[in-house]
Structure formats: structure tokens, C-alpha cells
């Protein structure tokens, strides 16, 4: 964090005026020493007022009397900051400010906004990942202009709150045993992988499903009867990077919910399925024994509908020993339990003082409410320990170097490395390195990172999370579709089929990413241009092509013909079955009193009846699934798997089976043409060309887009007979176009797909228009018109700039902050490592994790207060 300076109020050193020709220097992160009158006003005079004074006031903006930053004009200043940072202003033909002038001007504005808004909610826009591209790309990847002096980089000391995913994974470890990594089926979810969202897209913790032998009722009955709890920590961000350290805290609602659920978890750890059932007889290896005593009536949806096996399938923990009888726990047993639980939740052993504190808490609880409840209540406090919910990077023990930076060490460094790749606690080798004093140097980090990256049995779900944050391909199932609009795309809009297909699609795309990462060659290029897909059977439709009206007519005729033939065959078979059933009925009547014959006939009649139902069901399904408007993709290839959730919906749960197939040439190219990505960037009714364009601009080109002005009524006309491109004419109006030209021409090439992600050659019965343009990319070789998304992706995938922008995003994900100019050497080294190793993500990650930005912290405790003496002034005592 930069020290704040009241630069607009008092100056200790007045800068030469902008562009004055005097020798100028600039060190990023150093306070800007200049007054409003001496530096800022002259900058405005020179670069802004010609168009934005009271006589011209272009776009209705008059900066003549703007004055120093204050609470009332902060919104205007924020806009000025954005426009100048993005080099939108002064506009193209006007003389541009010198780089140093521009950087000092924008730094000054940020400092002043922080100071002016510190009691009004603060100013953090410059720290938001959406604004990270406001820093000019070329300054990061080229030699800095004369006068810019970089200083050794570091990150601020900080606390990271765990994400819902991390939290659920820790809790899951306490109650479920996940299967070990299976090299023969590397795509199956295994120990150490993320806990996937369920059939409905919800992140939940499931109790005891591995023990379930039988349940009554269908999918919904199963989901209702099984005990599960949702994640309670918040994650408000939907798009882009979600886990900067400063995004979240833990509020009181979350704390109380965590406490309540902790008791459920502890009970399950101690008693297993016995804590889930209505009757102890439900726990048996022979469900028939339960049938003798189970409650009468319809049990569907009730806990009593489930039979659990007696197998011990949960993790064995010291809590079992503690709760094995009614005796008061010994100090030894209690300490073992506290130590185990603390390390399981905080990923490090407790200090003696911490353990003593929790032991005392448990003892006090036992004294008040007895052993069983007291143990559970007392231990549940550990779930709320600071280090169970936050991961500290405070660098409290090291010595500052010459630049005031302190290197992380021991547990903090070990957990930082662990967190970069994993959701589980450190594996034994990393733990041994931490405990043995071998996590203190850059070389230590390189050794551990290299080891972990090489070992497939050590799962690294954080890497996949980076790609989810980067591509945003996992949002498709959450895009609520209008049923009629969905049906018009050619796919089935029946029930939740589409949403289930989209959750499957996200898991499939995840798996494809993993396959590409396994090869670790030209990773970004491969992701953008592969024709391989991981697919389910349903994907034959989603990766298919929407037929033209004429083709649909032909297909319908052919289908009717084929259907007639199939139906005739089925009817013949059905007639035979019916005849045989009738004959059995006659024989039954003719041979009364012969139990063996009657039983045999009854069995045959039942089998025939089942066969008849199967044929009719098959016909119904065939007719329902006849996607006449779609030419299915021909997908075939070797089997693979996708990581799907624990059974959450009985037999309707997500299935892992997939194939690795190749999609038709010319129709698809890389992840950006997968339904998972396309639907994630669509809305209820149609494609979302603007969102797609923003994605390309920000994530591939490294461009920034200012916030939408509040005066904009961003609404496209509702014209069902016009294409999206035609309806987007409103964005081409002057006022809108200065921003929209950065996104629309990059999003419209994806119009060759409809909003369910199907490829199409026509739209509203006219040839589809996929034209677009790459403009002002920063790389003249990239700029120019494109015929469609495929051509655009091919150009982008070959660009070095795009690769560098990818590196910038990786930096943000693994450092948990936006890059600054001081990070330029880190970014360049990371890109070099990626490039020198043939596009290796592992090399890129290793470079980042051994960089100064990752290893060093700067601690600013100025203004730090004693929280134990904290008074909440607004909470006056009653």
C-alpha cells in the first residue's frame, strides 16, 4: 500500500510543470509530490480544457472549475483517472502527455481519491482486477522510458480469507474419504481435487453418501433425504478473478452458521451414519433386515428412506477415541483431538497456547452441558479460528532487507506455496520441509513447486480454478434461459435438461484444460485452437450445427420415414408380446392349482410386460429427443472422464463418463467456441456479443474499458425479427461507440453460434453475418477485419501480445493483486520462462512463485490498532 499523501493540499517538493522539458524521473509506488495548482491544473489546462471547458464541454463535461479532489467531485475525477490511464484522453489526434506526466497525474488522482473518500467507503477501483489493464501493457513488456526507475517489487503483508471452495474442501476432508489418484483413469475426481458443484450448480458438503446402499424414491427423494449443507462463506464475484485477499471478510451470519454446521460435522466424525438416520436399523449390510422394522408408508424424501452400510468409510480421527465412551476425556486425548482438528482446518499445528486455549474451552463446555455436547460445542470453536478462515501472510518473523521487504518463511511461505496449487493441507514432504526449516529461500520454493508440479498424485485444483476465472466457462448453467428462446436454438428446453447439460459442459471443458496442461506445450495456443473436445452424448447436439429451414424440412421428412419404419418394427414386436401375454393368461386359467407353472408363467408375463414398457419408453424418448433442427456432430474418440460431484441426485447425479473427440473443422476452434464458454457469455434470450467482446478485449488484448456512465440506458431494442447485430445498431451512436467499438466488433464474430452454442450458417433464414474487427489492439499486426470467430481466434492465438496478457492474468491470480510497473521484471521473466519452455504453464507458474512479488512482503503497521480494546462506538451499551 502506498503511503497517502495530501499532495493536493501541501507540497514538499514542487514538480516541474508537465512537459516542461526539465529532467523528470518517476519511481512507481513513490508518493507524488506536487500540488494541484503547480502540477495538476497545468496538466488539465494543457491536455483537457480545450475540449472540456465551459464553452465547448464535449460530452457534457466541463473541467474548468473542477478543482482539487473532494467528496463531491470524486466521480468526475474517477472518470478522468480512467480516461487518462487508458490513454483515451486526450484523444488520438491531440498531443499526448509525456509518459511520466501521465503516470504521475494518475497516481496523484488515485492518492487524492483515496484520501478524499477514506471516510466515505474508500476508493479501491485501481485495486480491482477489472481495472488491472488500466496499466499500459507496453510499459510492462518493454524497456521503461528514460526517467522511470523501478524498485524491487514485493506484495503487501495481508490476510487471505479462504474461498467457499477451500472451506468446503477442508470440511469434506473431515467426513469423507476421496479415492486415491488412479493413473489409469486420471480424469476421475480424486483426493485433492476440488469439490465440484452438484447437479444444480450448488457447492455442497454431502454426508455419508459413500455408505448408501439403498434409498427409496427417485432423484428428488434422494436429494431431499440425504444430508448436505451448502457453503456459507460468500463469494460475490461472478466473472473474472474472484480471490484477491481483500475481497472478503467473515460476517456474523457466516460465523454462526459455520458454528452450527461444525457440530453436525463433529457428530458425523464421531458417529458416522448413525448421526444421519432415524433408526439404528438403517445401518446394515443387508437392507432386508431394515425392511422388517422400517416405518410403514411412503418414506420417500425422509432420512428413514436410506439404508447405510456398516463399513467404516469416513476418516479415522482422534475424535473417535475421545468419544468412545462416556468417561471425561483425558488431557492427552483432548490435546490429540484439538491438534488434529486445528491442523485439518488451519493447515498448521496449533501453538501450545492455542491448543491450551481450545482445551480449556472444551472443558468449560463439558462442565456446563455435559461431555457429548460439551465436546462438540467446544471443538466447534476451532472452525472459527482466524487461521481456519484466513491465511496469514504477515511476515512477522523475518528481517527487512535493504528495501524494507521481508521474505515469507516457514509456515507462511509453505502455506503460500501450498495455496498456490492446492486446497488440501501441505502434503507430507512439504510439511517436513516447513518443519525442518527448509522453506526459507527461493531455492526451497523452487524445489517444492517443481516437485509438486511433477507429481500427478498431488492434485492441483487451484490451477484449474485459474482457468475457470480466466475463461469464465463455468457460468453456463447459471444463465437463466427463456424457454421459448432456448427451444428456438434447436436443443431441448425440457425441464432442467439444458442446465444439467451446461454443468456437464463446464466439467468437460475443465477436463480438456487438464489434458492440455498434462502435455504442457503451447498451453494458451492449444486452449485457443484445439479441435479436441471432451464430450458427453448430449454434446453431439450442442457441438452440432443448427440446420437451415430447408435442411430441417428435409430432415423432418426423413425422420418421419425412419420413424414410421421403426414404429412398424416396434409394433410388430409389441403385437408378438401382447399375443404371448394373452396366451400365458389362457394357460394360467387352464392350469389352476399348479404353483410351479403359475409362478413360471407369471415370471414370463412380467418380463414381457417390462419389455413392452421398454419399447414404449424408448419410442417416447426417441421422439422427444428428435432434434430435427440440428445436424448432430459426429463425435467419437477414446473414453475419458470428468470430475463430477458425489452422488447428489441419486441415479440422476452427474456422470463422469466422457469421450475425447474432435470437432468438425471450420466450425469450432478452441474453448471460446465451446458451448460452455458461449453460453456463459450469453443471456436469457440471445448471445451477449458485448460481454464476449469485453472478454476478448480484456483477457486477450489487455485492453481496459471504462465503467458504463450512469447516464447510459443500456438497452437493446426488443425486435424479434432483427438479428442481434441489427439490434446493436444503438451502440453505434456517437456517445456509445467510443467504448463499444472496443468490444462489439470483437464479440460479433461469435454470431456464427446461437445462444445455446450451436454452430449456424443462417440466422432468421438469412446467411449469418460473423464479421468483426480487431482494432487498436496495441499490436498493429493483429488489427484488421475478420470474417468470423474462427479467423479471429487464429490471429489472436498467434500473437505474442496475447500471450503476455495471459501472463498478466496468471500473475494476478497467483499474487492476488494487480500488477504495478515495479512488477515488470517479474512479468517479463515469467513470459520468458513460458516461451523458453515451449509454452509451458508449469514453467510460468514456477517463475511466478519464485519471484520477489510472491516471496516478499512489505509490512505497513502505521495506524494499526489494538483490537482487543476495540470499542464499537455505534454499539452503545443498552
Partner 1 sequence: MKNPLDRRSAIRCLAAGAGAVFGAATESAIPAPGSTSGGPRRIIFFLQNQGFDPATCVPAEMTGSGSLAGVKLPEPIQPLEAYKERLHIITGLHGLHTSPSHSAFFGALGGYRGGDGVPPSASTIDYELSKVLPETLLPHLCIGMDSMENMTAKPTIANLSASGAGQPIFMHSNPNHLYQMLYGGISEGEIRKQHEARTGLFERMEKLAAAKGNGLPAAEQPRYRGYVGGFHEINDLRGRLGGVSETLRKFAPAVDQRYTAPKFETDWHDVLLDLGLSALKSGLTSVLTIGSGRGEIFGSWKGLGIDQQGHNLGHMPQPDNPIWIKIRQYNSRMLVRLMEGLESVPEGNGTMMDHTLIVYTSNNADAQHTSGANWPVMLLGHCGGVFKSGRLTRLDGKRPINALYTTLLRSAGVRLDHFNLSAPMAAKFDSASGPLKEVLA
For partner 1, the binding residues in 605-634 under the rule CB under 8 A are none
Is residue 870 within the footprint of partner 1 (CB under 8 A)? yes
Member of 146, 253, 565, 764 binding partner 1 (CB under 8 A): 253
Q: 658 by DSSP, 3-state: which?
A: strand
Closer residue to partner 1 in complex, CB, 89/506:
506
Nearest approach in angstroms of CB 268 to partner 1 is: 12
> Which region, judged by CB under 8 A, interacts with partner 1, from 93-101, 383-391, 600-608, 613-621?
383-391
Q: 823 by DSSP, 3-state: which?
A: helix
Task: In whole angstroms, give the CA distance from residue 146 to residue 477.
Answer: 50
> Which region, judged by CB under 8 A, interacts with partner 1, from 448-456, 615-623, 751-759, 854-862?
854-862
How many chain residues interact with partner 1 (CB under 8 A)? 105
For partner 1, the binding residues in 796-825 under the rule CB under 8 A are none
Contact 384, 252 (CB under 8 A): no
CA torsion sign for 439, 452, 382, 160 is: positive
Is residue 274 within the footprint of partner 1 (CB under 8 A)? no
| C-alpha distances out from residue 862 to 2, 258, 343, 753, Å | 12, 33, 32, 55
User: Which among 764, 742, 771, 754 is positioned nearest to 673, based on CA atoms?
Assistant: 754
Task: In whole angstroms, give the CA distance from residue 375 to residue 367.
Answer: 10
Is residue 721 within the footprint of partner 1 (CB under 8 A)? no
For partner 1, the binding residues in 348-377 under the rule CB under 8 A are 357, 361, 364-365, 368-369, 373-374, 377
For partner 1, the binding residues in 633-652 under the rule CB under 8 A are 648-649
Closer residue to partner 1 in complex, CB, 13/870:
870
Extended beta strands in 304-404, E state: 306-308, 390-393
What's the distance, CA 675 to chain centroid?
17
Cell numbers linked to 532: 479436441
**Widest distance between CA atoms in the chain:** 116
Closer residue to partner 1 in complex, CB, 238/576:
238
Cell numbers linked to 216: 427409496
Closer residue to partner 1 in complex, CB, 380/508:
380
Nearest approach in angstroms of CB 294 to partner 1 is: 11
Closer residue to partner 1 in complex, CB, 68/278:
278
Member of 61, 313, 394, 584 binding partner 1 (CB under 8 A): 394
Is residue 74 within the footprint of partner 1 (CB under 8 A)? no
Contact 151, 144 (CB under 8 A): no
Closer residue to partner 1 in complex, CB, 658/755:
755
Nearest approach in angstroms of CB 551 to partner 1 is: 29
Nearest approach in angstroms of CB 702 to partner 1 is: 25
Closer residue to partner 1 in complex, CB, 184/480:
480
Nearest approach in angstroms of CB 521 to partner 1 is: 37
Is residue 764 within the footprint of partner 1 (CB under 8 A)? no
Nearest approach in angstroms of CB 605 to partner 1 is: 27
Closer residue to partner 1 in complex, CB, 369/598:
369
Is residue 31 within the footprint of partner 1 (CB under 8 A)? no
Contact partners, residue 579, CB within 8 Å, separation at least 6? none
For partner 1, the binding residues in 462-481 under the rule CB under 8 A are 478, 480
> Which region, judged by CB under 8 A, interacts with partner 1, from 381-389, 509-517, 526-534, 691-699?
381-389
Closer residue to partner 1 in complex, CB, 563/726:
726
For partner 1, the binding residues in 109-148 under the rule CB under 8 A are 121-122, 124, 127
Closer residue to partner 1 in complex, CB, 95/296:
296
Cell numbers linked to 719: 425486435
What's the distance, CA 145 to chain centroid?
37
Task: In whole angstroms, give the CA distance from residue 265 to residue 85.
Answer: 50
Q: 812 by DSSP, 3-state: which?
A: helix
Cell numbers linked to 536: 458427453
Q: DSSP string covering 609-645, please?
A: HHHHHHHHHHHHHHHHT--TTEE-------EEE----
* CA terminus-to-terminus distance, the chain: 39
CA torsion sign for 328, 340, 164, 458 is: negative
Closer residue to partner 1 in complex, CB, 219/588:
219
Nearest approach in angstroms of CB 276 to partner 1 is: 6
Cell numbers linked to 638: 477414446
Is residue 18 within the footprint of partner 1 (CB under 8 A)? no
Member of 41, 62, 257, 762 binding partner 1 (CB under 8 A): 257
What stretches of 72-163 show up as alpha helix (H) in DSSP?
A: 74-85, 99-116, 137-141
Member of 21, 92, 180, 297 binding partner 1 (CB under 8 A): 297
Nearest approach in angstroms of CB 760 to partner 1 is: 21
Is residue 718 within the footprint of partner 1 (CB under 8 A)? yes
For partner 1, the binding residues in 160-219 under the rule CB under 8 A are 164, 198-204, 217
> Which region, judged by CB under 8 A, interacts with partner 1, from 284-292, 777-785, 807-815, 864-872?
864-872
User: Which among 307, 284, 326 is positioned nearest to 226, based on CA atoms?
Assistant: 307
Is residue 506 within the footprint of partner 1 (CB under 8 A)? no
Is residue 299 within the footprint of partner 1 (CB under 8 A)? yes
Contact 449, 849 (CB under 8 A): yes
Nearest approach in angstroms of CB 714 to partner 1 is: 8
Closer residue to partner 1 in complex, CB, 4/316:
4
Q: DSSP string covering 19-81, please?
A: T--S---B-TTSPP---IIIIIHHHHHHHTTTTSSTTT-GGG---TT--S--TTTHHHHHHHH
| C-alpha distances out from residue 316 to 97, 113, 269, 273, 461, Å | 66, 54, 8, 14, 25
Closer residue to partner 1 in complex, CB, 33/227:
227
Nearest approach in angstroms of CB 279 to partner 1 is: 9
Kindly write out the interface string for residues 219-248 of this chain, putting x where it contacts partner 1 by CB under 8 A and - elsewhere: -xx-xx--x--xxx-xxx-x-------x-x
Closer residue to partner 1 in complex, CB, 226/792:
226
Member of 17, 19, 303, 349 binding partner 1 (CB under 8 A): 303
Member of 254, 751, 763, 803 binding partner 1 (CB under 8 A): 254
Nearest approach in angstroms of CB 202 to partner 1 is: 4
Q: Which residues pair with 308 in a beta bridge?
A: 212, 283
For residue 620, the tally of other CB atoms under 10 A from its CB is 10
Q: DSSP string covering 731-764, please?
A: GGSHHHHHHHTTTHHHHGGGGGB-TTS-EESEET
Is residue 278 within the footprint of partner 1 (CB under 8 A)? yes
Nearest approach in angstroms of CB 68 to partner 1 is: 23
> Which region, judged by CB under 8 A, interacts with partner 1, from 52-60, 134-142, 378-386, 765-773?
378-386
Q: DSSP string covering 377-414, please?
A: HHHHGGGGSHHHHEEEE---SSPP-TTS-EE--HHHHH
β-strand pairing of 155-156 with 856-858: parallel
Contact 347, 419 (CB under 8 A): no
For residue 268, the tally of other CB atoms under 10 A from its CB is 20
Member of 683, 726, 741, 773 binding partner 1 (CB under 8 A): 683
Is residue 589 within the footprint of partner 1 (CB under 8 A)? no
Is residue 495 within the footprint of partner 1 (CB under 8 A)? yes
What does the chain come to in residues?
878
Cell numbers linked to 73: 467531485
| C-alpha distances out from residue 470 to 345, 474, 573, 672, Å | 28, 10, 54, 12
Is residue 878 within the footprint of partner 1 (CB under 8 A)? yes
Member of 352, 589, 734, 868 binding partner 1 (CB under 8 A): 868
Amino acid at each position: 500500500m502506498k503511503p497517502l499523501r495530501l499532495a493536493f493540499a501541501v507540497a514538499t517538493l514542487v514538480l516541474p510543470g508537465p512537459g516542461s522539458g526539465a529532467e523528470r524521473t518517476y519511481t512507481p509506488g513513490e508518493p507524488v509530490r506536487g500540488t494541484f495548482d503547480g502540477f495538476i491544473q497545468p496538466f488539465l489546462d494543457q491536455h483537457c480544457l480545450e475540449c472540456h471547458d465551459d464553452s465547448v464541454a464535449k460530452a457534457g463535461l466541463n473541467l474548468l472549475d473542477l478543482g482539487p479532489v473532494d467528496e463531491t467531485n470524486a466521480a468526475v475525477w474517477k472518470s478522468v483517472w480512467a480516461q487518462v490511464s487508458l490513454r483515451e484522453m486526450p484523444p488520438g489526434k491531440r498531443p499526448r502527455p509525456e509518459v511520466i506526466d501521465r503516470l504521475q497525474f494518475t497516481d496523484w488522482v488515485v492518492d487524492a481519491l483515496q484520501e478524499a473518500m477514506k471516510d466515505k467507503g474508500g476508493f479501491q477501483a485501481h485495486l480491482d482486477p477489472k481495472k488491472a489493464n488500466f496499466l499500459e501493457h507496453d510499459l510492462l513488456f518493454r524497456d521503461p522510458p528514460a526517467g522511470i526507475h523501478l524498485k524491487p517489487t514485493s506484495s503487501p503483508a495481508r490476510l487471505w480469507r479462504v474461498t467457499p471452495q477451500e472451506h468446503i474442501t477442508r470440511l469434506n476432508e473431515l467426513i469423507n474419504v476421496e479415492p486415491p489418484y488412479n493413473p489409469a483413469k486420471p480424469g476421475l475426481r480424486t483426493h485433492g481435487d476440488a469439490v465440484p458443484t452438484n447437479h444444480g450448480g450448488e457447492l455442497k458438503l454431502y454426508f455419508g453418501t459413500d455408505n448408501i446402499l439403498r434409498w427409496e424414491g427417485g432423484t428428488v427423494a434422494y436429494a431431499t433425504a440425504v444430508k448436505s449443507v451448502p457453503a456459507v462463506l460468500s463469494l460475490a464475484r461472478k466473472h473474472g478473478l474472484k480471490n484477491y485477499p481483500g475481497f472478503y471478510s467473515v460476517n456474523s451470519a457466516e460465523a454462526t452458521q459455520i458454528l452450527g454446521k461444525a457440530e453436525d460435522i463433529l457428530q458425523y466424525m464421531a458417529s458416522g451414519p448413525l448421526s444421519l438416520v432415524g433408526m439404528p436399523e438403517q445401518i446394515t449390510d443387508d437392507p432386508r433386515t431394515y425392511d422388517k422394522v422400517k416405518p410403514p408408508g411412503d418414506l420417500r424424501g425422509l432420512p428413514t428412506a436410506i439404508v447405510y452400510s456398516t463399513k467404516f468409510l469416513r476418516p479415522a480421527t482422534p475424535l473417535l477415541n475421545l468419544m468412545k465412551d462416556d468417561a471425561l476425556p483425558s488431557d492427552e486425548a483432548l490435546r490429540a483431538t484439538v491438534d488434529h482438528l486445528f491442523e485439518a482446518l488451519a493447515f498448521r499445528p496449533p501453538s501450545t497456547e492455542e491448543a491450551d486455549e481450545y482445551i480449556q474451552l472444551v472443558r468449560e463446555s463439558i462442565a456446563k452441558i455435559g461431555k457429548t455436547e460439551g465436546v462438540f460445542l467446544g471443538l466447534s470453536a476451532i472452525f472459527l479460528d482466524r487461521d481456519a478462515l484466513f491465511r496469514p501472510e504477515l511476515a512477522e518473523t523475518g528481517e527487512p532487507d535493504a528495501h524494507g521487504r521481508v521474505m515469507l518463511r516457514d509456515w507462511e511461505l509453505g502455506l503460500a506455496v501450498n495455496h498456490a496449487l492446492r486446497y488440501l493441507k501441505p502434503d507430507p514432504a512439504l510439511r517436513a520441509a516447513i518443519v525442518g526449516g527448509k522453506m526459507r529461500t527461493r531455492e526451497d520454493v523452487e524445489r517444492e513447486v517443481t516437485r509438486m508440479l511433477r507429481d500427478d498424485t498431488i492434485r492441483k485444483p487451484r490451477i484449474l480454478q485459474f482457468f475457470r476465472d480466466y475463461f469464465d466457462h463455468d457460468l453456463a448453467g447459471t444463465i437463466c434461459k427463456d424457454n421459448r428462446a432456448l427451444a428456438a436454438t434447436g436443443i431441448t428446453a425440457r425441464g432442467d435438461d439444458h442446465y444439467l447439460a451446461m454443468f456437464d459442459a463446464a466439467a468437460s471443458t475443465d477436463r480438456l484444460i487438464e489434458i492440455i496442461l498434462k502435455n504442457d506445450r503451447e498451453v494458451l495456443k492449444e486452449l485457443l485452437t484445439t479441435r479436441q473436445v471432451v464430450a458427453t452424448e448430449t454434446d453431439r447436439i450442442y457441438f452440432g450445427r443448427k440446420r437451415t429451414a430447408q435442411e430441417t424440412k428435409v430432415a423432418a421428412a426423413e425422420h418421419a420415414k425412419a420413424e414410421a419404419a421403426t414404429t412398424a418394427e416396434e409394433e410388430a414386436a409389441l403385437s408378438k408380446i401382447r399375443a404371448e401375454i394373452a396366451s400365458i393368461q389362457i394357460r394360467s386359467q387352464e392350469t389352476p392349482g399348479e404353483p410351479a407353472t403359475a409362478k413360471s408363467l407369471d415370471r414370463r408375463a412380467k418380463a414381457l410386460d417390462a419389455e413392452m414398457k421398454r419399447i414404449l419408453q424408448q419410442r417416447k424418448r426417441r421422439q422427444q429427443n428428435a432434434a430435427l433442427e440440428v445436424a448432430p456432430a459426429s463425435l467419437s474418440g477414446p473414453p475419458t472422464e470428468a470430475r463430477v460431484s458425489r452422488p447428489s441426485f441419486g441415479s440422476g447425479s452427474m456422470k463422469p463418463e466422457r469421450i475425447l473427440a474432435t470437432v468438425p473443422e471450420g466450425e469450432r476452434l478452441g474453448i471460446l467456441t465451446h458451448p460452455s464458454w458461449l453460453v456463459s457469455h450469453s443471456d436469457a434470450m440471445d448471445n451477449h456479443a458485448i460481454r464476449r467482446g469485453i472478454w476478448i478485449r480484456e483477457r486477450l488484448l489487455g485492453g481496459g474499458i471504462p465503467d458504463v456512465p450512469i447516464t447510459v440506458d443500456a438497452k437493446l431494442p426488443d425486435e424479434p425479427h432483427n438479428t442481434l447485430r441489427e439490434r446493436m445498431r444503438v451502440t453505434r451512436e456517437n456517445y456509445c461507440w467510443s467504448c463499444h467499438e472496443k468490444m462489439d466488433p470483437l464479440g460479433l464474430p461469435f454470431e456464427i453460434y446461437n445462444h445455446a452454442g450451436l454452430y449456424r450458417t443462417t440466422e432468421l433464414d438469412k446467411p449469418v453475418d460473423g464479421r468483426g474487427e480487431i482494432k487498436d489492439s496495441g499490436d498493429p499486426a493483429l488489427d484488421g477485419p475478420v470474417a468470423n470467430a474462427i479467423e479471429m481466434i487464429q490471429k489472436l492465438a498467434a500473437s505474442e501480445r496475447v500471450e503476455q496478457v495471459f501472463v498478466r492474468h496468471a500473475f494476478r491470480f497467483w499474487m492476488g493483486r494487480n500488477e504495478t510497473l515495479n512488477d515488470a521484471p517479474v512479468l517479463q521473466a515469467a513470459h520468458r520462462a513460458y516461451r523458453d519452455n515451449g509454452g509451458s504453464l508449469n514453467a510460468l507458474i514456477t517463475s511466478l512463485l519464485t519471484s520477489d512479488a510472491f516471496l516478499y512482503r512489505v509490512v505497513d503497521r502505521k495506524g494499526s490498532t489494538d483490537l482487543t480494546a476495540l470499542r464499537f462506538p455505534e454499539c452503545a451499551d443498552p
